[in-house]
Amino acid sequence: MARTRAQRRRHTLLITLALAVTLIVLVFARDVSRSAHGALNPRKSENLSFGALANGLITGENNFDARLERLLSQGTTLSRPVFAARLNQLEQQLPGWSEAAVQLRRPVLAHRVNDSLDSLTQLRVAAYQTLLREIAHALSLPWSSGPSMVISNPVATLETTSQVWDVDSYALVKEPGRVHLETTTSLTATFFAANGVTALTHAASLTLQRAIGIAAVKVSPSPLPAATGVLLLPPVTSVQLGVSVLNTGFDEQPVTLMIRVILLNRRGVASAQTMTATLGPLQAYAFVAKSLQTTASERARVIITLRGAPGASGMVTSESYLLEMSPSGSA
């Protein structure tokens, strides 16, 4: 049956509306797609940037782990100063990890993976600092720095943080950029748990050998020519002594220097001085004593004694001089 004109108009209108709605839907879908695509690009860039920086940090941690494990396993072949130098070099790297991890906290990424990396890194830094300090103390090595936080069991902390990061490192695998994050190693923790520092503390090359000695004695004014052990001086009213001492051990060594003046005649003033200092590894120190009060024709025994450790090979810890002051020209 033929349609009326009104029916044809309604049919045409419905088709037009349908086409308009379809066009609007297509345009909306295109805009949504473009918006989503535009949103993914920044996320992808952030994830990729974080991945590159994070993997650089983790690679540095793993290199550190391998170097420390090698130092612990082969340290018995090294001398005490060389071992200490390498231990210090490793310790100096740790603050840089903390700074790098803090900088990676922003922007916040999926699953807050950057927060996880930061918190785990701070724990690993403190654990390594604690472990290095324990090693230094076991060998009586000079060590001044302390951990950024107290870690009661550094080995367990290193193992646990590695296990946690093994899981968290997959956080960005399904996110824009498909970033794969490296995992951390625990070579040092495994070695230390099995061996500790027993081999190191029994190694002859790493054993502390405390030794000190008097390196030089300076007298002012300069003595006149005389026999060995005799300080023949002009008739001055005061004499200045300077004593240089040496620590030949690789450790911080407290020392005490005593200078005694014992009169041999009735001229002059008897005296005694005691001075202390702490010498660094293989370091020298110059003691400057108070001026000795002297008089013409005085005869006295000056005894210099150094205490704190055994005498080093080829050096002495005690010196004795006969002090003879020349007569006054007016006498």
Domains of the chain: 5-206 (no CATH), 212-325 (2.60.40.10)
By CB atoms closer than 10 A (0-12, 13-18, 19+), residue 135 is buried
Query: CA–CA separation, 174 vs 260, rounded Å?
Result: 81
Shortest CA distance to 184 belongs to which of 232, 127, 234?
Answer: 127
Identity (one letter) of the amino acid at 302? V
End-to-end CA distance of the chain: give it in Å, rounded.
160
Q: Are strands 292-293 and 284-288 parallel, antiparallel or unpaired?
A: unpaired
Rounded (10°) CA dihedral 50, 51, 53, 59: 150
Tell me the two tokens of residue 59.
């690679």
Tell me the two tokens of residue 141.
């090595």
Residue-level pLDDT at 110 = 85
Identity (one letter) of the amino acid at 207? T
pLDDT tens for the chain, 331 residues: list them.
455 766 666 666 666 666 655 655 554 545 544 444 444 588 898 999 999 999 999 999 999 999 999 999 999 999 999 999 999 999 999 999 999 999 998 888 888 999 999 999 999 999 999 999 999 999 999 988 788 888 999 999 999 999 999 999 998 888 898 999 999 999 999 999 999 999 999 999 999 999 999 999 999 999 999 999 999 999 999 999 999 999 999 999 999 999 999 999 989 999 999 999 999 999 999 999 999 999 999 999 999 999 999 999 999 999 999 999 999 865 4
> Which helix H or strand E contains 188, and what residues bound it?
helix 187-195
pTM for the model: 0.76
- Alpha-carbon distances, residue 231 vs 227, 252, 294 (angstroms): 8, 33, 13
- φ, ψ (nearest 5 deg) of residue 153: -135, 85
Tell me the two tokens of residue 115.
């927060």
Residue with tokens 């297509």: 26
Please spell the DSSP secondary structure of 61-87, one letter per residue: HHHHHHHHHHHHHHGGGS-HHHHHHHH
